[in-house]
Amino acid sequence: MAPSRWRGSLTAGYQFFLALGVLIANLVNYATAHVPWGWRVSLGLAGAPAVVIFVGALFLTDTPSSLVMRGRADRARAALLRVRGRDADVEAELRDIAKAVEAASQSEDGAFRRMATRREYRPHLVLAVAVPIFFQLTGVIVLAFFAPLVFRTVGFGSNAALMGAVILGAVNLGSLVLSTLVIDRYGRKVLFMVGGIQMAMNVSIGLCLTFVQTQSFLAMLWRFKHATFAYYAAWVAVMTVFIALFLPETKGIPLESMGTIWGKHWYWKRFVDDGKSDVALT
C-alpha cells in the first residue's frame, strides 16, 4: 500500500524498530545487571511492544490487492483513498492492481513448479535465496546475539561488555536511521553496496541460517579467535560484489510493474522476455 516513492523508507521501518528494541533491551540489561531480580525486568518488558503490536493490528485495513482478489473493488478504492488522501485520483492505481491480481490468479496453479523450472523466473529465485543468505553469512545476527560475550572475549569486563553491546546497538540504529532517510533518494542497490563496505524465501532461509550461525559461532570464536571476523568480512565482500552485479535497482517502480526491471538488466534479461513474467509470482 505504500507509495512507490516512499516504499523503501516505510519498509525500513520494520528494521528500524527492531534495532530500536535491541538498543532499549541492551540499556535495560545494563541498568539491571547488578540487581538480583533484574533478569525478570528484562524478560517482562518484552511484553510491552507485543501489546502495542497487537493493539495496532486491530486498526490495520486490508490491502487493496486483497480486497480486489475477493471481489470487493469499492472497499479496495476506499482503502486506497484512506492512505493516499481523500482527494487523490486512485483509479489508475486501482486498475493496475486489478490487472496484477487477474494475472496472478491466472498463473496461480503450479506457481512453485514454474518458479523452480522456468528460465524467466530465475532472477526472482536467485535473489530471493541469495540476499537472505548473504545477510546471515555477514555475521550481523550472531554478533547482535553474542555482543556482550564478544566484548568479554577481547578483554572487556562484565559492565564494559554490556556497554559495548549498547554502543553496538546505537551504531546499528544510527545506520538504519540514515538508510531510512536516503533509501528512496539514492535507491536500494547503492545502500546495499555502501552497507557492505561499512560492515568490512527470506523468513525460512533467514531463520534456518540463524539457527546454524548461533550454534556454530561460539565454537568458531573459541577455535579461530580473530579469524572468525575475517570469515564474516569475506562474506561481506562476496555479498557486495554480488549485489553490485546482479541486483537491479527498484527505486520508484510500482510493485505492479516490478517485473520490467529484469528485462532491462544486463544479465537477467537473457532469462526473461522484456518483463512478461511481471506479476506471475505476486
Question: What does the pLDDT read at residue 256?
Answer: 60
Supply the pLDDT for residue 54.
92
pLDDT of amino acid 202: 46
* Residue type at position 178: L
Report in angstroms the alpha-carbon separations of 38 from 26, 33, 35, 48. 12, 6, 5, 16
pLDDT by 10s per residue, the chain, length 282: 777 777 777 777 777 888 888 888 888 888 888 888 888 888 888 888 889 889 998 888 788 888 888 888 889 888 888 888 888 888 888 888 888 888 777 766 666 677 777 777 778 778 778 877 887 777 777 777 777 777 676 666 666 667 777 777 777 777 777 766 665 565 655 555 555 555 574 445 555 666 777 778 888 888 888 888 888 888 888 888 988 888 887 777 766 666 678 778 888 888 776 544 444 434
What cell was used for 80? Answer: 486506497
The pLDDT assigned to 108 comes to 65
Instruction: Tell me the C-alpha distance between 26 and 202, whole Å.
Output: 26
CB 263 within 8 A of CB 278: no
Give pLDDT, residue 188. 57
**Per-residue model confidence (pLDDT) at position 55:** 93
CATH code linked to domain 6-203: 1.20.1250.20
Measured CA to CA, the distance from residue 91 to residue 162 in angstroms comes to: 54
The upper half-sphere exposure of residue 174, i.e. CA atoms within 13 Å in the direction of its Cβ, equals: 7
Domain definitions of the chain by residue range: 6-203, 225-271
Q: What is the 3-state secondary structure (H, E, C) of 206-267?
A: HHHHHHHHHHHHHHHHHHHCCHHHHHHHHHHHHHHHHHHHHCCCCCCCCHHHCCHHHHHCCC
